[in-house]
Homo-oligomer: A and B are copies of this chain.
Amino acid sequence: MPILVMKFGGTSVANLDRIARASKRVAREVANGYDVIVIVSAMSGKTNELVGWVGDTSPMYDAREYDAIVSSGENVTAGLMALRLQEMDIPARSWQGWQVPVKTTSAHSSARINEIPNDNIMEKFGEGMRVAVVAGFQGVSPEGRITTLGRGGSDTTAVAFAAAFEAERCDIYTDVDGVYTTDPRLTDKARKLDKIAFEEMLELASLGAKVLQTRSVELAMRYKVKLRVLSSFEEYDPEAGTMVCDEEDIMESKVVAGVAYQRDEAKMTLISVADRPGIASAIFTPLAEAGVNVDMIVQNISEEGRTDMTFSCPVDQVARAERAMAEAKDSGEINFHDLVADTDVAKISVVGIGMRSHTGIAAKMFDVLSAEGINIKVITTSEIKISVLIDRKYMELAVQALHDAFELEKA
Q: Which residues of A contact B (CB under 8 A)?
A: 16, 19-20, 50, 53-54, 56-58, 61-62, 64-66, 68-69, 72-73, 75-76, 78-80, 82-84, 86-87, 93-94, 96, 98-99, 144-146
B16, B53, B80: the one within 8 Å of A69 (CB): B80
CB-CB under 8 A from A82, the residues of chain B are 62, 65
- Report the nearest B residue to A23, measured CB to CB: B57
**Residue among A16, A68, A145 with the highest chain B CB neighbour number at 10 A:** A68
**Residue among A19, A56, A73 with the highest chain B CB neighbour number at 10 A:** A56
Is B83 within 8 A of A76, CB to CB? no
Is A94 within 8 A of B79, CB to CB? no
Is A68 within 8 A of B87, CB to CB? no
- A-B pairs, 4 with minimum CB distance: A69-B79, A58-B83, A72-B72, A68-B79
B16, B54, B58, B64: the one within 8 Å of A57 (CB): B16
Is B83 within 8 A of A54, CB to CB? yes
Is B80 within 8 A of A57, CB to CB? yes
CB distance from A319 to the nearest CB of B (A): 28
CA distance A53 to B58 in the complex (A): 30
Could you list some 17 contacts between A and B, CB below 8 A? Answer: A16-B56, A53-B76, A53-B80, A57-B83, A57-B87, A61-B83, A62-B83, A62-B86, A62-B93, A64-B93, A65-B79, A65-B80, A65-B82, A66-B79, A66-B83, A68-B75, A72-B75
CB-CB under 8 A from A61, the residues of chain B are 83
Is B68 within 8 A of A54, CB to CB? no
Is A53 within 8 A of B16, CB to CB? yes
Is B53 within 8 A of A65, CB to CB? no
CB-CB under 8 A from A20, the residues of chain B are 57
CB distance from A337 to the nearest CB of B (A): 45
- Report the nearest B residue to A144, measured CB to CB: B99
Copies of the polypeptide in the assembly = 2
B56, B69, B83: the one within 8 Å of A65 (CB): B83
CB distance from A335 to the nearest CB of B (A): 43
**Residue among A69, A83, A98 with the highest chain B CB neighbour number at 10 A:** A83
CB-CB under 8 A from A66, the residues of chain B are 79, 83
CB distance from A5 to the nearest CB of B (A): 20
- Report the nearest B residue to A71, measured CB to CB: B75
CA distance A58 to B90 in the complex (A): 13
CA distance A61 to B86 in the complex (A): 9
**Residue among A79, A99, A146 with the highest chain B CB neighbour number at 10 A:** A79
Is B64 within 8 A of A50, CB to CB? no
CA distance A64 to B79 in the complex (A): 9
CB-CB under 8 A from A98, the residues of chain B are 98
CB-CB under 8 A from A54, the residues of chain B are 79-80, 83
CA distance A62 to B92 in the complex (A): 10
**Residue among A50, A64, A65 with the highest chain B CB neighbour number at 10 A:** A65
CA distance A398 to B280 in the complex (A): 89
CB-CB under 8 A from A83, the residues of chain B are 54, 57-58, 61-62, 65-66, 69
Is B96 within 8 A of A68, CB to CB? yes
CB-CB under 8 A from A72, the residues of chain B are 72-73, 75-76
Is A69 within 8 A of B58, CB to CB? no
CB distance from A87 to the nearest CB of B (A): 5
CA distance A75 to B42 in the complex (A): 15
CB distance from A145 to the nearest CB of B (A): 7
- Report the nearest B residue to A101, measured CB to CB: B144
CB-CB under 8 A from A78, the residues of chain B are 68
CA distance A96 to B79 in the complex (A): 17
Is A84 within 8 A of B57, CB to CB? yes
CA distance A146 to B99 in the complex (A): 10
- Report the nearest B residue to A82, measured CB to CB: B65
CA distance A4 to B79 in the complex (A): 34
